[in-house]
Amino acid sequence: MNKIRLGVNIDHVATVRNARGESYPDPLRAAILAQKSGADSITIHLREDRRHIKDSDLKKIKKKLKIPLNLEMAPTKEMLNIAIKNKPNYVCIVPEKRKEITTEGGLNVKKNKKNLKRIINELKKRKIRVSLFVEPQVSDIRLSKILGANCVELHTGKFSNLFHKNNRINLSLMNLKKSAIYAKQLGLEVHAGHGLTYKSAHHVAKIKSISELNIGHFIISESLFVGMTKSIKRFRKIINK
Ligand code: PXP
């Protein structure tokens, strides 16, 4: 059995809270419930515009959580300082554009290599596991290894979009698979995520070189109907089949 870890992204609990400027639903409560329901780690993305997770959420969650906390962040000085101060177990460096609805693509590793190398070094010095969110393509994966990242997280957005449109997924899935094998051969730990649902995660989880999936929007959406515990448990079953 391919035992894949499940990281649960709880950003959109904060989105609902912020829509009314209230104190509920509380992302900390979601993190603790996800932990209890079988999540292997909790992911939060502290965006530069703080549109969902806030600095206070990061502090509270880090203090109370028993499983690893994975902080997604843009490669900026501000975010590096926040990570150093709060010491999440993992950091996943992601690109950020103010006007995007979600993280629409992987990092431009080549363009940012100097900055990324410095940030990776600073985080690794503090024993924080560093992952780069990249497109499933050889050049970015190879460069991630050269820059010293521990892991790559392959962006599954394109695959998910094709999947949901009932388009041909074979090429895209094959590309994910080839990229995952290549990354693992280089000695990188391989993660994947973005836009995954029960059905699409089932295909991605069959790729043996992948050891972690990070899933958020669909879990929070399903939680409205079946609750977070059921949704997480169902994902666990699907990805460990
Ligand atoms: N992985 C990374 C690096 C992300 O930026 C996101 C979105 O925040 C996810 C996984 C989860 O994507 P989704 O919310 O679409 O499941």
Structure tokens at 166: 């009932």
Question: How many folded domains does the chain comprise?
Answer: 1
CA distance 115 to 74: 11
Domain hosting residue 144, numbered range: 5-239
Q: Pocket residues for ligand 1 (CB within 6 Å)?
A: 9, 11, 45, 72, 92, 94, 102-103, 133, 153, 193-196, 214-218
Between the CA of 118 and the centroid of ligand 1 the distance, in Å, is 24
Task: Please indicate whether residue 72 is annotated as part of the active site.
Answer: yes
Q: Which residues lie closer than 8 Å to 114 by C-beta, 6 or more apart?
A: none
- The residue-averaged pLDDT of 195-217 equals 97
The enclosing domain of 28 has a CATH number of 3.20.20.70
Mean pLDDT taken over the chain:
96
The Cα–Cα gap between 163 and 169 comes to 6
- For residue 172, the tally of other CB atoms under 10 A from its CB is 19
Under the banding of pLDDT at 50, 70 and 90, the label for residue 66 is very high
Phi and psi at 212, nearest 5°, equal -150, 135
Question: Residue 68 gets which letter from DSSP?
Answer: P
- pLDDT per residue as tens digits for the range 84-110: 999 999 999 999 887 778 888 899 999
Helix (H, G, I), strand (E, B) or coil at 59: helix
Q: Please, which pLDDT band fits residue 156 given cuts at 50, 70 and 90?
A: very high
Place of tokens 């994966």: 141
Identify whether the C-beta of residue 145 lies closer than 8 Å to the C-beta of residue 186: yes
